[in-house]
Structure 1
Amino acid sequence: MESVQSNTPALQEQDPRPGLMVDRSFWGMTVTQFLGAFNDNLYKQLMLLLAVPVALAAANAGGGAGESSGDIQGWASLVFSLPFVLFSGFAGYLSDRYSKRPIIVLCKVAEIVIMLLGLLAFYFYGMFGTAGTWIVLFLMGVQSSFFGPGKYGILPELFRAKDLPRANAIILMTTFLAIIFGTVLAGTLKDVLAGEDGDLTNLWMGLVVCFVIAMLGTCSSLFIRRVPAAQPGMPFSIDSVAVSKDIYAVLKQDRVLLKALLVSSVFWLVSGIAVPTINRLGLELLQVNATSTSLLTASIGFGIILGALVASALCRKGWGDTAVSIGLWGICGSLIALGFWTQGDQHALGFTGSIIALVVMGIFAAIFSIPIQVFLQERPPLAVKGRMIATMNQANFVGIMISGPLYQVFEAIAGAFGWPICSVFLMMAVLVLPLAALYRLKSKQPT
C-alpha cells in the first residue's frame, strides 16, 4: 500500500501544474460548485419551509410551545441525505476507476434533468401534491452523492499540494455564498409566489431559475481539465457499494484518519439538526416571515465565509490541528448562547442577536471544518482518494441522515417539557461538548 504521505518538497518544487489563480480549471470548478450549491440549497430550503406550515399557523394563533407542531423537516432531511448513504460507495468506486472530470460533467447534465422535473413537480402540484416534490428532493440527493467524490477527489489531482488549503478555502467561501443566496431566495420565493394563503401553484416559476442555473453549471464544468483515472483497471466488487477493502485497510492502519472521519460525521449530524431548528426559531418563536427566517439560516454562511479566511491562514502557518479544537469550542459556545429563552418563551437573543450568534457559529464551523477537510483530502494514498472522499461523504451523510430523526426526537422532547424550540440548541451543545473536550487532531503524528 502506498505511503500516506505522498508529496515530498522536491516533488512539489518540480510540480508542472499552473498556479491557482491562473488555472482555468480552478475557476471552472469554483463556478460549477457555486451554481450546484445554489440550486441544492434553494430547493432544499424551499422544501424545509414547506414542511413547517402547521408550526407557523400554531405560532400565529398563539399556540403554546408544548403543542404538536406537525413539523416534518427532519424527514425532509432524511429523504435528501439517504442517497448519500446508499450510493456514495459506488460513486467513490467510479471516481477512482474513471477520470473524475467526465463524471462531474455528467452529474451536471443530470442536474438539468432533475431541475426540469422539479419545475414540472410544482407546475402539476395540484395533481400530484407533495409526492412529486419529494421524489425530486431524493433525486437531487442521488445526483449530489455521485458529484461529491469527483468534486472533492479531483482537487488534489488538479492543484499543487501547497495550493490545496487556499483552493479549499476559496471554494468553501464561494459555496457558502451560494448557500446564502439560494437559501434567502427560497424564502423570498415562498413569500412572493405562495403568499400568505400558501398557494403553491405558482412556485414552478422559481424553478425556472434553477433550470437555467443547472445549464450554466454544466457549461462551466467543461472548463475543468481532464485528469487520468487513479486506478483505471480496478475491478468492481460488492464491497465497492459500501466501504471497500482498500479503504478499510487504510483506516485500520491510520487511526488518526479514522478519528477525523468520525468527528467530521458528528459535526455534520449537528449541522443537520441546526437548519430545521433555525427555521422553526424564525417562523415560530421570533414570528418572522420566510424571507427573514431564511436570512437567519444564511447567517451561518456569512460566518463560514469569514471563518474560511481565518482557517486558511491557520492552515498555511501549520496551526490546523489547533484550529480544529478552537472551532469545536466556539461551536459549542454559540449553541449554548442560542439555546436560552426568557419568561413567556421569548428567545433571549431576539432576531438581531440570533443573527450575530449564527454568524459567530459559522466562523467557528469554518475554523473547524477546513483543516479537517484538507487533512482528509491529503492523507489518503493517491490510489484511493476518490473512494476515501466517498467514504467521507457516506460518513458525513450518515450523520445528516441520523440528524433528521434525531431532530424530530429533540423537537418532541422540547414539546413534552413545554420548552420553546430554541432548547434544541442546548441539546445540540451536549453532542458537541465531548468532542471539544476530548478530540485533538494530530495530523503530523506518525501512524
Structure 2
Amino acid sequence: MTDHHEPSPTILLSTPPRGPLPLPETEPRRAAEPLPPLLQDSSFWGMSVTQFLGAFNDNLFKQLLLLLATPSAVMIAAAQARGEQVPDRQAEAMIVFAAAFLLFSGIAGWLADRMSKRTLIGYAKVAEIGVMLLGMVGFYYYDVIGLPGMFAVLFLMGLQSTFFGPPKYGILPEMIHERDLPQANGIFLMFTFVAIIFGTVLAGMAKELSDAGGAVWMVSGVCVLIAVVGTLTSLLVRPVSAANPGCPLRWTDFFVPPESIRLVRADRELLLALVVTSSFWLLGSIVQQAVNALGKSQLGLDDGNTSILAAMLGVGIPVGCLIGGKLSAGRINPRVVTAGAVGIVVCLSLLSLRGGPNDHLLGFYGSIPVLIGAGISTGIFIVPIQVAVQALPPANEKGRMIALMNQCNWVGIIFGALLYKATLWGVEALDQPRNTAFAVGALVMLPIAIFYQPKERALGD
C-alpha cells in the first residue's frame, strides 16, 4: 500500500483550529471564482491524471526492486541445504526510499507555501522524466551496478516524490470548493490505487521477462514516456498564487518549522490525525513486504503471481476510497474511520491464519478476496483522515503541514520496515510461517480501531 507509499486547504470549519498562528483574512491561493462543479472541472481531472501517471511509475519501479530484493522459495531451500540464509532486502529498499522524505520534506513544504503549487508540480514532473531515464539506464547496466546501484536511483525517485507530495495534495483545497474535498480525495486516491494495481502487476511481468532473458530496461522506457505524458497533463491544472510568497528560508525549514510544531501542539485533532496517518503507513510498509514474502517465500509463487497477489490490495482500495468519500460527504465522519479500521484488523487477522499447504490456511486463491477486502477497508479508513490533514491547518501553513505529514508517514514506513525485519528474524528463529507478519500488522491497527475517534466536523463552502 504504497504509494508509496505513502502513502496531504483556506478552510472554514465549524470549529476553526486554534493556535498562536493567525488565520489569514483572505484566501490568496484559491483560484478565481466561480469554480465549476467538481466532476466538470478539467483542472481537477488534469491533476488526478497527473497523479495517476506518477503513482504508476513509482509503484512499478519500487515493486520491481522489492521483487529483486525478495528471495524465492527455491533460493531459500537451496541456501538452507547449504546451511546458509538468503537475506530479504525489502526493508533496505523501503528505508532508502523513505530517507529522501525524511531529509527533504521540510524544504519541500517551505517551497510549496512560497511558490505556486502548480509551478512546483510542473518542476517535479520534469524531474520525474530525468529519474525515469536514470532508471532505464540503471536496468540496462544492472549486471554492473546491481541492487545497490538501483537503490541510488530509488533514492532519487523518493526525492522527486518528496517535492511532488506537498503541492499535489495542498493544491486541491485551493482549486476546488471545500465541500467537495471528501469526494475529490476519494477520486484522487482511487486514481492513485488504480495506478498501484497496474504498476504492481506490470512490475511482476517485467521481472519475469528479465528472468526469461528479456530486456527489462525497455519497460523503464515506457516509464519515461509516461512521465512525459504526466508532465503534459499537469499543464491542465489551473494556476494558483503562492500561499506565503514572502516566507523566508530558515534552517528549521530543513527539519520541522516551529510554526508547525506550535500548530500541532495547539490542535489535538490535527496531532492525532498525524499520528494515525503515520501508524497507517507503518502498517502499509509491513503489509506490502508481507504480501511479497507470502507469495515468493512461503507459497512458492513466481514474480507474476506474487505481484497479482500484491495488486489485490489495489483492487479494493479504489472502491473503498469512493465509499469513504461518499460516506464522508461534506464532513469528517468518525464512524467511517472506525469502520475502515475494524475491517483492516479483521482482514489481516484472516491472512495470518495457519494451516493447509505451505502453512497458510487461505492459500493463493483464498487470499485474493481477503486482500480485496483489506483494500476496501483501507480506502474507507484513509479518506476522512486525508481530508482532516488538509482541512485543519490555516491557509498559510498547509504546504508545510502536508510536508510534516509526509515526514511522519515516512517515519512510519521506516519503522514498519524495521518492524517487518524484526518479525522476519523472529519467525525464522522460531520456525514460524512468514504470514505471521500479518498478525503483527493487525496488532498495529487494533488500538486505532478501538480508541481513535476524530471529532465530527462539517466542512465549509
TM-score, length of structure 1 as denominator length: 0.93
Post-superposition Cα deviations, 1:124-143, rounded to whole Å, max 9, x if no partner, equal 12222223211110000000
Query: Letter of the aligned partner of 1:341 in structure 2?
Result: R
Paired residue for 1:184?
A: 201
The aligned runs of 1:87-236 (5 Å cut-off) are 87-195=104-212, 202-236=215-249
Is 1:308 aligned to residue 325 of structure 2?
A: no
Paired residue for 1:35?
A: 53
In the TM superposition, what is the alpha-carbon distance from 1:345 to its structure 2 partner?
4.1
2:316–2:373 CA contact under 8 A, matched in 1:
yes
1:55–1:71 CA contact under 8 A, matched in 2:
no
Paired residue for 1:331?
A: 344
Post-superposition Cα deviations, 1:228-280, rounded to whole Å, max 9, x if no partner, equal 11111111111111221211121111011101110110010010111111011
Post-superposition Cα deviations, 1:392-433, rounded to whole Å, max 9, x if no partner, equal 111111101221222111111111110010011111111111
Paired residue for 1:22?
A: 40
Query: Letter of the aligned partner of 2:392 in structure 1?
Result: R
In the TM superposition, what is the alpha-carbon distance from 1:343 to its structure 2 partner?
6.0
Q: What secondary structure does 1:341 align onto?
A: coil
Q: What secondary structure does 2:341 align onto?
A: helix
Q: What CA distance in whole angstroms lies between the structure 1 residues aligned with 2:433 and 2:413?
A: 23
Q: What CA distance in whole angstroms lies between the structure 2 residues aligned with 1:304 and 1:54?
A: 27
2:357–2:363 CA contact under 8 A, matched in 1:
no
2:24–2:394 CA contact under 8 A, matched in 1:
no
Q: What CA distance in whole angstroms lies between the structure 2 residues aligned with 1:136 and 1:408?
A: 23
Q: 1:358 to 1:384 in 2, by over 3 A?
A: same
Query: Letter of the aligned partner of 2:439 in structure 1?
Result: L
In the TM superposition, what is the alpha-carbon distance from 1:440 to its structure 2 partner?
1.2
Q: 1:366 aligns with which of 373, 379, 391?
A: 379
Q: What CA distance in whole angstroms lies between the structure 1 residues aligned with 2:457 and 2:96?
A: 38
Structure 1 window deviating more from structure 2 (172-181 vs 20-29): it is 20-29
2:181–2:330 CA contact under 8 A, matched in 1:
no
Q: What secondary structure does 2:328 align onto?
A: helix
In the TM superposition, what is the alpha-carbon distance from 1:151 to its structure 2 partner?
0.4
Q: What CA distance in whole angstroms lies between the structure 1 residues aligned with 2:86 and 2:210?
A: 24
In the TM superposition, what is the alpha-carbon distance from 1:146 to its structure 2 partner?
0.5
Query: Letter of the aligned partner of 1:309 in structure 2?
Result: L
Paired residue for 1:419?
A: 432
Q: 2:255 aligns with which of 230, 234, 242?
A: 242
Query: Letter of the aligned partner of 1:282 in structure 2?
Result: G
Query: Letter of the aligned partner of 2:180 in structure 1?
Result: D
Q: 1:159 to 1:418 in 2, by over 3 A?
A: same
Q: What CA distance in whole angstroms lies between the structure 2 residues aligned with 1:67 and 1:357?
A: 34
Q: What CA distance in whole angstroms lies between the structure 2 residues aligned with 1:89 and 1:54?
A: 38
List alignment gaps of at least 5 residues for structure 2.
1-9
Post-superposition Cα deviations, 1:347-385, rounded to whole Å, max 9, x if no partner, equal 100111111111101111111100000111011111101
Structure 1 window deviating more from structure 2 (142-151 vs 301-310): it is 301-310
Q: What CA distance in whole angstroms lies between the structure 2 residues aligned with 1:56 and 1:143?
A: 36
Q: 1:265 to 1:82 in 2, by over 3 A?
A: same
Q: What CA distance in whole angstroms lies between the structure 1 residues aligned with 2:126 and 2:437?
A: 39
Query: Letter of the aligned partner of 1:47 in structure 2?
Result: L
In the TM superposition, what is the alpha-carbon distance from 1:194 to its structure 2 partner?
2.3
1:194–1:203 CA contact under 8 A, matched in 2:
no
Q: What CA distance in whole angstroms lies between the structure 2 residues aligned with 1:306 and 1:95?
A: 30
In the TM superposition, what is the alpha-carbon distance from 1:107 to its structure 2 partner?
0.5
1:54–1:69 CA contact under 8 A, matched in 2:
no
In the TM superposition, what is the alpha-carbon distance from 1:23 to its structure 2 partner?
1.5
Post-superposition Cα deviations, 1:154-206, rounded to whole Å, max 9, x if no partner, equal 010011111111111111111111110000000001112322xxx6x822111
2:285–2:416 CA contact under 8 A, matched in 1:
yes
Paired residue for 1:57?
A: 75
Paired residue for 2:362?
A: 349
Is 1:385 aligned to residue 398 of structure 2?
A: yes
Is 1:433 aligned to residue 451 of structure 2?
A: no
In the TM superposition, what is the alpha-carbon distance from 1:63 to its structure 2 partner?
5.7
Query: Letter of the aligned partner of 1:182 in structure 2?
Result: G
Structure 1 window deviating more from structure 2 (73-82 vs 435-444): it is 435-444
Instruction: Note the aligned Cα RMSD (angstroms).
Output: 2.3
Q: What CA distance in whole angstroms lies between the structure 2 residues aligned with 1:226 and 1:317?
A: 25
Structure 1 window deviating more from structure 2 (215-224 vs 18-27): it is 18-27
2:71–2:296 CA contact under 8 A, matched in 1:
no
Q: What CA distance in whole angstroms lies between the structure 1 residues aligned with 2:105 and 2:192?
A: 21
Is 1:269 aligned to residue 282 of structure 2?
A: yes
1:56–1:283 CA contact under 8 A, matched in 2:
no
Structure 1 window deviating more from structure 2 (402-411 vs 369-378): it is 402-411
Q: What CA distance in whole angstroms lies between the structure 2 residues aligned with 1:57 and 1:83?
A: 31
Q: What CA distance in whole angstroms lies between the structure 1 residues aligned with 2:108 and 2:24?
A: 26
Q: What CA distance in whole angstroms lies between the structure 2 residues aligned with 1:240 and 1:44?
A: 28
Aligned length in residues: 435
Q: What CA distance in whole angstroms lies between the structure 2 residues aligned with 1:168 and 1:178?
A: 15
Q: 1:297 to 1:54 in 2, by over 3 A?
A: closer
Query: Letter of the aligned partner of 1:372 in structure 2?
Result: I
Q: What secondary structure does 1:309 align onto?
A: helix
Identity of aligned residues (%): 46
